[in-house]
Amino acid sequence: MPDAKQLESVSRMLSKILRHEPQLVGVTLDNQGWIDLLELIGAIERTARAPGASKSFRALPTITVELIQAVVAASDKQRFALSADGGRIRASQGHSVEVDLGYASKTSPAVLYHGTAVGNWERIQVEGLKPGSRHAVHLSAETETARRVGARHGTPIVLIVDAARMHADGSAFTQSDNGVWLIEHVPARYLTLLDG
């Protein structure tokens, strides 16, 4: 069984490839973000063993189907999904490359939350929440999840999203396989700052 450090390094590499840079290992994702698992493993191994490979690739353990399955199973945020037959893999959300994850519109809870750094609040009060380099704004049904996300970017704040009013006004939410709520934009009028 791989150790936690190995699982984390492989998870980071998979996120980079499956969300942002499939060309890093010379692969192409299909239009829904899937790639054949054996093709991906071969591409990572070739890249890691190539002359002049980056340190992050050279430091990876040998990539196997079992190791990828362990990374998927160990991901507390379920960052990755395996196809029903186990033959393909994709990132659950967070892409900056063009993909259509195929998530259907879904009625969200009445209130959702977004974590960010306190330094972003002034801009957000004017622009609302935008996806940046991603395809969608990521929202959570729990304040603690939002707070943890915000802490990645600095001193965290949690924003309350009036999802019920957004839905009533015609906005459509989707939900990723790992439970993250997704929407293209949250205008500032639907946001308030959570106290405390």
- 39 Cβ neighbours under 8 A, 6+ residues apart: 27
Report the CATH number at residue 154.
3.20.170.30
Cβ atoms 99, 22 nearer than 8 A: no
Q: Is residue 163 part of a domain?
A: yes
pLDDT of residue 102: 72
Kindly state the tokens that stand for 9: 């390094």
Q: What would the mean pLDDT of 102-115 be, rounded to a whole number?
A: 89
Q: Note whether 116 and 82 are same-domain residues.
A: no
Query: Quick check: is 175 in a domain?
Result: yes
- Predicted confidence at residue 135, as pLDDT, reads 76
| pLDDT above 60 (res 113) | yes
Helix (H) or strand (E) holding 182: strand 181-183
- 98, part of any domain: no
Going by their DSSP bridges, the two strands 137-139 and 181-183 should be labelled as: antiparallel
Which of 43, 60, 91 is the last residue before a domain boundary?
A: 91
Shared domain for 65 and 116, answered yes or no, is no
Question: Is residue 158 situated within a structural domain?
Answer: yes
User: Are 22 and 67 members of one domain?
Assistant: yes
Residue 59 lies in a domain: yes
CATH for 34 = 1.10.10.970
Q: Does residue 10 sit in the same domain as residue 84?
A: yes
Confidence of residue 35 (pLDDT cuts 50, 70, 90): very high
Q: What is the pLDDT of residue 139?
A: 94
Is the same domain home to 54 and 15? yes
Q: How far is CA 5 from CA 1, 43, 44, 65, 71, in A?
A: 12, 22, 18, 18, 11
Predicted pLDDT of residue 196: 54
Q: How high is the pLDDT of residue 1?
A: 66
100 is a domain residue? no
Domain range for residue 116? Answer: 111-193
pLDDT band at residue 99 under the 50/70/90 scheme: confident
* pLDDT tens digits along 38-88: 999 999 999 998 999 988 888 888 999 999 999 988 876 778 989 989 999
Whether residues 83 and 117 share a domain: the answer is no
The total number of structural domains that make up the chain: 2
Q: Kindly report the pTM of this predicted structure.
A: 0.62
Q: Are residues 82 and 17 in the same domain?
A: yes
pLDDT in tens, 131-183: 877 778 989 999 999 999 899 888 999 999 999 999 999 998 988 877 889 99
Does some domain include residue 97?
A: no
Question: Average pLDDT in the 11-39 region?
Answer: 92
Do residues 132 and 161 both lie within one domain? yes
Banded model confidence at residue 115, pLDDT cuts 50, 70, 90: very high
